[in-house]
Structure 1
C-alpha cells in the first residue's frame, strides 16, 4: 500500500452513553494521523468502532481527497451481508478498495483479517475497555508483536486480571 497506513480495532458493543465520546476521540486520533502524514486507512467494517472510523474517514475525505479508505473483510459472504444494509453498502461503495482475506468462513478468519490489517499498517488505533478476551485485545497483541505504533482510546469500565472494576475510564 502506498502512503502511511493506519488501521482501527475496537469493540462492537460500545455502551450507548459512551458512543459520542468514542466518536469524538476517534475523530481526534484520525486528525492526528492525518496531521502526521497518514493517508491510507483500513477498517474491518465490524459493527461499532470499525464503522464509526469508516464514517469519519469518508467525511474527512470530502475536504481531503488524498485520504483513502480500504475495507478489509474476513470472507466473501461478510461482504454480501454488509451490502444488504443500505448504510454499510454506501460506506463500502465509497471505499477505494475492498479486500477479502479468504473466500470461506473459518473460525480464525477474523483473527487473520486483524493480523493482515496490523501487518499492513504503521499505526493502530484501538478503542479498548480492558477485556482480556476477544478480537480487540488480539489485535492489540498483534500490534505489539509487530512493533506497530499503538494509539489507545480507553472506554467504559476498565477491569483488572481478576475482573475487578478499576473505575470508570472516561475519554
Structure 2
C-alpha cells in the first residue's frame, strides 16, 4: 500500500429509507479523501456499507486510475462465498489486492479484520447509528485508541439513553 490509506466500517443492516442518503454521504467522504490525497481504500466486503464503499471507489477508479481498492477478507471461506456471487466477484476482480486475514473461521475473525484495516489506514470512515455494541462500535473505539482520523456518517435517529436526555421540568 502506497500513499494515504482510508478504510470503511459500518452496519450491514441499514434502514431501507436511509440507503440513498448513506451512499451520497459515502460518495462525499470518498471524494473528500481523494481531494485530501488518499489513493488507497480498504473494504472488508461485508454486506451493506462495505460493499457500497467498494462500488463507489471502483466507480471513481474509472476516471482516476491512481486509486486502488484493497479487499480485506476475514477468512478463506468468506472469500469463496463472495466469489460465487457475480456482483462481488467482479468487485474483487477489480481490487489491487485481496488480503485474507486467516484461513479458518473463528468468532474473532471480524474484529481481526477490522483491526487490520484501522492499523493500516490513516482515515476511517464510519457509517454509524449510535448503538453501543457490535463490530462498528468496537472499530470506532479502536480507531480512537489508535489516534486515527475518524469521519462519521450518522444513520437514522440517534436514541439517547434516559440518563443522557436533558432534564425537563
Range into which the TM-score falls when normalised by the shorter chain:
over 0.9
**Alignment pair present for 1:138 and 2:143:** no
Confirm or deny that 1:41 pairs with 2:41.
yes
Change in CA separation of 1:65 and 1:49 when aligned onto 2, cut-off 3 Å: same
Provide TM-score, normalisation by structure 1: 0.94
Number of aligned residues: 166
Q: Which residue of 2 aligns with 1:78?
A: 78
Q: Which has the larger radius of gyration?
A: 2
CA drift at 1:157: 2.2
- Structure 1: gaps of 5 or more residues: 167-171
Residue 129, structure 1, aligned to residue 96, structure 2: no
Q: How far apart are the structure 2 equivalents of 1:156 and 1:108?
A: 28
Shift in CA distance, 156/64, structure 1 to aligned 2, threshold 3 Å: same
> Who is 2:103 aligned against?
103
Inter-CA distance 96–148: structure 2 relative to 1 (3 Å threshold): same
Which structure 2 residue ranges, 5 or more long, are not aligned? none
Distance 1:107 1:163 in 2: 33
Which residue number in structure 2 is paired with residue 7 of structure 1?
A: 7
Contact 1:159 1:165 (8 Å CA) reproduced: no
Is the 8 Å Cα contact of residues 158 and 165 (structure 1) preserved in structure 2? Answer: no
